[in-house]
Structure 1
Amino acid sequence: MTDVRVIMGSASDVEIAKKVTAILKKFEVSYEVSVISAHRALELLQDTIHKDDAKVYIGIAGMAAHLAGVMAGMTIKPVIGIPVGGSNTSGLDALLSMVQMPKGVPVATVAINGGDNAALLAIQILALSDEALVGKLQAYKKEMLDKVREDNDKLEEI
């Protein structure tokens, strides 16, 4: 069983997907990555979601950004959306498309191009039933705290 299924709306989203997979690798979380357009390959998306055994889904899309919402309409499992910037509105269109989901079809949406946080949110969801991930998340938070302290100490040396 795959822990996280990452689906990009197009191959142009690969840099965002790399942010996601870097964090998933760090936490040793299993994942699969695909390119499946909700608009151009709906049947393939349906087949993937219905046959897949992932615990959490991440949809990456820009512009109209319907991918994560369509995925959420096909499954009861958590779906995290990553709006992609780069359009004339710098990704605001994608962000609004993801957060304006109809009642009953939730998509947890992170910041524009927020692949890191999408991966961390997926890991936090998985940690609800995985004590090893709880420990890794606690260690990660401590690393962040240590980095802030280090940065603060360097600032005092100025």
Structure 2
Amino acid sequence: MTDAELMDILQQYKEGRISSEQALQELHKSSFEDVGFAEIDHSRERRQGFPEVIFAEGKTKEQLLFIMKSLQENSQGSIMATRASREMFDFVHEDIAEARYDEMARIIYIERPVRRDPHHTILILTAGTSDIPVAEEARLTAYLWGNAVKTHYDCGVAGIHRLFAHKKDIDEANVIIVIAGMEGALASVVGGLTDKPVIAVPTSVGYGAAFHGVTALLAMLSSCAAGISVVNIDNGFGAGVLASKINHLR
């Protein structure tokens, strides 16, 4: 619920068009909606600038559909469900025709118009092609949160000349997300090339000693390059949100 909608409730109560009980009910609804299996946070958009995002993994198709419809009815911004399957999307799409699915990012979303500043961009770099699913989760998240996003994939340290070919975009970006598995070295290299904030995302890509992303995570946390923050393994969504919040600071 927006501030304008809250003001409308207060005005209706002031003019006697609704009772105190009705006003209280509407105000409670603007905070969260208790539906038994979930407490849907309708006030998050007002607090944080974007509606609650649904983590679809572990939910039933019916639960996901109910939450998406509730958010659709009570929010102004785009609606997202991360870690969603094609089967979940097919079920949701039967009731919500405007829902879309990005198979690589595994996100079901309802996009709503937003103004993007082309002069404040988020750049996403991956070490390898295998890191692209996490990168696409970050890209679509940042895009739906109202950012201009550029990407360059498969430019890791095994062929570092590929990274240097994108130096112009590195210099011009406002925030950089670096996504890498294996030993996670790309984050340190990029961190040493820019004065912009770098968000490092370790991925679970790699052979045995990569320990499903733990090696990259520890390497990124131990980086000697200043100005690098690190999110959880495979957490493209978290990187996209953090990058968006930084990018909107003026």
The two structures have a TM-score, normalised by structure 2, of 0.48
Alignment partner of 1:81 is 2:200: yes
Q: CA deviation at 1:18?
A: 1.5
User: What is the percent sequence identity of the aligned residues?
Assistant: 28
Instruction: Give the Cα separation in 1 of the matches to 2:228 and 2:216.
Output: 13
Q: CA deviation at 1:69?
A: 1.0
Match among 67, 75, 96 for residue 186 of structure 2:
67
Alignment partner of 1:128 is 2:219: no
Structure number, greater radius of gyration: 2
Instruction: Give the Cα separation in 1 of the matches to 2:241 and 2:201.
Output: 12
Q: CA deviation at 1:80?
A: 0.5
Report 1 or 2 for greater relative contact order, CA contacts < 8 Å, sequence distance ≥ 6. Answer: 1
1:1-158 mapped onto 2 (5 Å cutoff): 1=119, 3-49=121-167, 51-52=168-169, 53-87=172-206, 88=208, 89-102=211-224, 105-129=226-250
Change in Cα spacing, 1:60 to 1:106, as seen in structure 2 (3 Å) is same
SS at match of 1:59: strand
Change in Cα spacing, 1:116 to 1:108, as seen in structure 2 (3 Å) is same
Instruction: Give the Cα separation in 2 of the matches to 1:105 and 1:24.
Output: 23
Instruction: Give the Cα separation in 2 of the matches to 1:125 and 1:66.
Output: 23
Instruction: Give the Cα separation in 2 of the matches to 1:86 and 1:10.
Output: 9
Q: Which stretch of structure 1 is more off in the superposition, 29-38 or 120-129?
A: 29-38
Instruction: Give the Cα separation in 2 of the matches to 1:113 and 1:96.
Output: 14
Where do 5+ consecutive residues of structure 1 fail to align?
130-158
SS at match of 2:245: helix
Instruction: Give the Cα separation in 2 of the matches to 1:21 and 1:105.
Output: 24
Q: CA deviation at 1:106?
A: 3.0
Instruction: Give the Cα separation in 2 of the matches to 1:90 and 1:17.
Output: 17
Q: Residue 148 of structure 1 aligns with which residue?
A: none
Q: CA deviation at 1:2?
A: 5.3
CA RMSD of aligned residues (A): 1.5
Q: Which stretch of structure 1 is more off in the superposition, 15-24 or 69-78?
A: 15-24
SS at match of 2:218: helix
Where do 5+ consecutive residues of structure 2 fail to align?
1-118
SS at match of 2:240: helix
Conserved 8 A contact 1:46-1:74 = no
Letter in 2 for 1:8: T
Conserved 8 A contact 1:64-1:97 = yes
Instruction: Give the Cα separation in 1 of the matches to 2:201 and 2:175.
Output: 14
Q: List, as ranges, runs of 4+ consecutive aligned residues in structure 1 with deviation greater than 6 Å.
A: none
Q: Larger helix proportion, structure 1 or 2?
A: 1
SS at match of 2:196: coil
The two structures have a TM-score, normalised by structure 1, of 0.74
